[in-house]
Amino acid sequence: MRIRSFAAAALGLLLVAGLPGAVSGPAFAAEAKKPLSAAQEEAVKALVRKYLIEHPEIIVEAMERLRAEQKRKESEQVKAALVAKRKEIYEDAASPIAGNTDGDVVIVEFFDYQCGYCKSVVDRLMKTVKTDGKIKLVFKEFPILGPQSVFAARAALAAKKQGKYFEFHNAMMRLRGKLNQVSVFALAKSVGLDTKQLANDMRDPAIEKALRANFALARTLRINGTPAFIIGDQMVPGAVSQQMLESYIEQARKKSG
C-alpha cells in the first residue's frame, strides 16, 4: 500500500516528464487521482530509483526525519503515561521514600544495585535531597542486571519490615565489590538487620508483586536502563550530572509553584 501511495504521488513527475501514460493541461488533476497502470507504476519506480541513486543524501534525510518523528511520538506517549500512571509513580505504598514526604518536588529513581551508573550518582542525589530539604525521593527497585540484582532488590524491600530500608539501600549502593547472596546478607548484618527475619520476609508475595509492578510501570514509561529519573513531570534517563539535577529540580519547582 505504501509503494502504491508513493507511486501515485510521484505520478506528477511522470505527467511533467512526459513518460509513458503522461498527460498535461486540465486533465492533470483527474489523471493523477486514477490508479496507476502496471506500466506507469514501473516507470515511477525506475524514475525514483534513478533519482535516489543520483541523490543518496535523500535517504539519510528521510531516515533522520523518521527517527525524529518516532522520538516525538515516543515523547508524547511518555508524557501521557506520566499523567495516566501518576498514582503508581508517585503514591505507590510499596515504594520506599526518603527526604521530605511533603516536599514540593518529587524525584523518582528506577535503579539496580549492580548498576555502576546508579552508584555514581547516589552521593550527589542524596546530598541534594538533604541540602534542599524540600524534595521527596521515591525509590523504584528495577533489577534488570540478573538474578543477583533481583535477590538484592528483594532483600532491600524486605528490610522495610525492620525499618532499615534506607540504611541497607545506601550500603548496597556503596558496595564496590561483587554483589551476591553472601555480600548482601553481610551488608544487611552490618546495618543492624536480623538476617534470619530478612530471609523469611523476602518470601513475602507482596515483594514479588511490587517488583512486577515496577517492571510494568517501566515498560509503560519506556524505561529500558538504569538509572532513570522522573523529576517533577520530566523523564530524565541516565546518570544525571549535578548541574542537570539542580536544573530539573528548579524547573519542577517553577511548574508546581
DSSP state of 159: G
Q: Which three cell numbers stand for residue 242?
A: 549535578
- Sheet hosting strand 105-111, strand order edge to edge: 97-99, 135-141, 105-111, 228-231, 234-237
Question: For every one of its 257 residues, what pLDDT tens digit does the chain have, with 9 covering 90 and above?
Answer: 444 444 444 445 444 444 444 444 555 455 556 677 888 888 888 888 887 788 788 788 888 887 877 777 777 887 888 889 999 999 999 999 999 999 999 999 999 999 999 999 999 999 999 999 999 999 999 999 999 999 999 999 999 999 999 999 999 999 988 899 999 999 999 999 999 999 999 999 999 999 999 999 999 999 999 999 999 889 999 999 999 999 999 999 998 76
Give domain 86-256's CATH number out of 3.40.30.10, 3.40.50.300, 3.20.20.480, 3.60.40.10.
3.40.30.10
Cβ neighbours, 10 Å, residue 97: 17
Q: Which three cell numbers stand for residue 66?
A: 523518521
HSE (CB half, 13 Å, CA atoms) of 137? 20
Instruction: Give the Cα separation of 139 and 107 in Å (integer).
Output: 9
The residue written with cell numbers 541523490 in the block is 55
pLDDT digits (tens, 9 = 90+) for 23-77: 445 554 555 566 778 888 888 888 888 877 887 887 888 888 878 777 777 778 8
DSSP state of 16: H
CATH 3.40.30.10 residue window(s) in the chain: 86-256
Give the model's pLDDT for residue 107.
97
Helix (H, G, I), strand (E, B) or coil at 100: coil
Instruction: Give the Cα separation of 154 and 134 in Å (integer).
Output: 29
CA-to-CA separations, 4 to 55, 82, 104, 125, in angstroms, rounded: 22, 39, 55, 54
Q: Which three cell numbers stand for residue 233?
A: 513531570
Rounded to two decimals, the pTM is 0.74
Taking each helix axis from N to C terminus, what angle separates 116-132 and 242-256, rounded to the nearest 10 degrees?
50
Give the model's pLDDT for residue 14.
46
